Amino acid sequence: MTENIITYPLVVHLFFSIVLMFFWQKIKVQKILTIVGNFIALGVAIAVFIHIWSNGTQVVNAGNWDAPFGIVFVGDMLSATLLLLTAVSGLAVSIFSIVSVINARLRFGFFSVYHFLLLGLNGAFLTGDIFNLYVWFEIIIISSFVLISIGGEKNQLEGAIKYFTLNFFGSLIFLTALGVIYGLTGSLNMADIANKIKLIDSQVLIDISAVLFLTAFSIKSAVFPLNFWLPASYHTPPSAVSAIFSGLLTKVGVYALIRMMTLIFPQDEFLMNLLIVLSVLTIISGSFGAIIQNNIRKVFSYLIICHIGFMIGGLGVFNVLAISGVLFYLIHDIIVKTNLFLIGGVIYRIKGTTNMKKIGDLYHSFPKLSLLIIIVLFSLVGVPPLSGFWPKISLFLSSYNNENYWYFGALILGSFITLVVVAKIWSEAFWKKQPEFSIRKKKFISFGQLYTLQKWQFITPIAILAIISLYIGFGADHIQTLSLKIAEDIIDPQNYIDAVLKP
């Protein structure tokens, strides 16, 4: 049974996605099933993580077709870690969804599509075939487009069109890059491509292929200058949808960049320099976009962009210390960004808006909730010893030691502006008095009128993710050990290649 264990996360989400379709109009049954499904998915992800940690990289050849001729699933520590983070975030968001998403939207198959999205994410993290990575990306785009447009409100549809159009353009570039790499190597298996690309004499053709892949994945991970779609769309759907998008959808693009740049195009000087330049511009654009916004969810959207720049810059530095910093930051960022949009949803539920100019007095009205939220905000900033602090040490040291001073300066700028933005949020939304003018609220039950159980369903996922953030910070030695292990494995990918091709 254990030889196929890495495919179990796919089976779980596919199974529940199909089962939920049979309870289309039975909302209560759907809510129970999705919670059960995500708990099972979390248990399976933990089992996969432990199995790979104990036994090394695991490979499953679909249909018993040996690589490089058949479809292959590969589970290494990078994949296992992202499967676990996906399961944790997926469970937290599903708990939040059952009280935050209105029944009218749930009747359109919200939970079924949600599991289909998680299926696509898990598939992208596990595939060892670059064409199937494209297929999983398309599954992610289709299901996310449905989730972002459910409800049919004007701002949702506008955001969905922007989101889909640019991501569809990214998919076309990805498909073009696939054609180029297949023409160069005659293979679509990533481990096989890694071997064959070393035999190609023309560095120009390799660089063209690499830039195409970089462009496609940069669109999906919101790298400058192709990042304008994200703040235009992530604030429009329900907070539960925005949370899973912010935590995982942009990170699957970062994962693809990490996998491609360490396995297929390692130590390409042109590519590494290009990544550094793009990271600096991404940090700057995200930082200044965040500081001028008054809508909390838009602020969080721009901070996603800013911190994506942190990660791709570390990938450009390309040494064990930098890559471990990228991985540590990726782990921290998935949890924190998911939680930020859940917090945005709670603020909207309480105040009827996320415009900081129109809200205030949250700390006075909800002191315990505010203290919980400040843990997440401090983790975002990287206040020692919380989770955002430790990976920055690796990124600062690696960039300074490698004399990447522009990236080093951008890290300082991005960190400082994140602090300013968080201080602005706290001052405006939590500390100042509620403005006198009235707020026109949508027709829903206010937070204060909710039953105690429903309040706990809002707060519990935020508390769970905040506790995980605290563990990442106070248990940083464990996360650093994991990050270093993954970094060493992916910078020297021969074990991955040997596991897939079985020489």
Q: What is the pLDDT of residue 63?
A: 74
What is the SS3 assignment for 72? strand
Q: Tell me, what amino acid is at 29?
A: V
DSSP character for 246?
I
| Full domain range(s) for residue 268 | 2-437+445-501
| Confidence grade of residue 151 (pLDDT, cut at 50, 70, 90) | low
Tens digit of each residue's pLDDT (9 = 90 or more) over 398-451: 999 988 899 999 999 999 999 999 999 998 888 878 776 545 444 445 555 555
Tally of domains within the chain: 1
Percent of the chain exceeding pLDDT 70 equals 94
Average of pLDDT values for 465-469? 95
Nearest to 159 by CA among 64, 240, 233, 252: 233
CA-CA distance, 425 to 427, in Å (whole number)?
6
Answer for the pair 327, 487: CB distance below 8 angstroms, yes or no.
Answer: yes
State the CB neighbour count (10 A cutoff) for residue 5.
18
Residue with tokens 């779609």: 229
Q: What is the pLDDT of residue 449?
A: 55
pLDDT of 443 reads 45
Task: Please report which confidence band the pLDDT of residue 40 belongs to, taking 50, 70 and 90 as the band edges.
Answer: very high
**168-172, 255-259, 299-303, 326-330: which has the minimum mean pLDDT?**
168-172
- What is the distance between the alpha carbons of residues 75 and 6, in angstroms, rounded to a whole number? 6
Handedness of CA 94, 97, 103, 109 (dihedral sign): negative
**Long-range residue pairs from 344-347, CB within 8 A, at least 24 positions apart, any chain:** 344/239, 344/242, 344/296, 344/297, 344/300, 345/96, 345/100, 345/238, 345/239, 345/240, 345/242, 345/243, 345/458, 346/239, 346/447, 346/458, 346/459, 346/462, 347/296, 347/429
- The one-character DSSP state at 1 is -
pTM over the 0.95 mark: no
Mapping DSSP onto H, E and C, the string for 105-170 reads HHCCCHHHHHHHHHHHHHHHHHECEHHHHHHHHHHHHHHHHHHHHCCCCHHHHHHHHHHHHHHHHH
Other Cβ atoms closer than 10 A to 22: 11
Q: What is the pLDDT of residues 61-79, one digit of tens each?
A: 887 787 788 889 999 999 9
d(CA 438, CA 436): 6
- Provide the sign of the torsion angle of the four alpha carbons 193, 216, 269, 81, taken in this order: negative
The closest alpha carbon to 297, from 348, 362, 368, belongs to 348
Per-residue pLDDT reduced to its tens digit, 374-407:
999 999 999 989 999 999 999 999 999 988 899 9
Please, what is the average pLDDT of the chain?
88
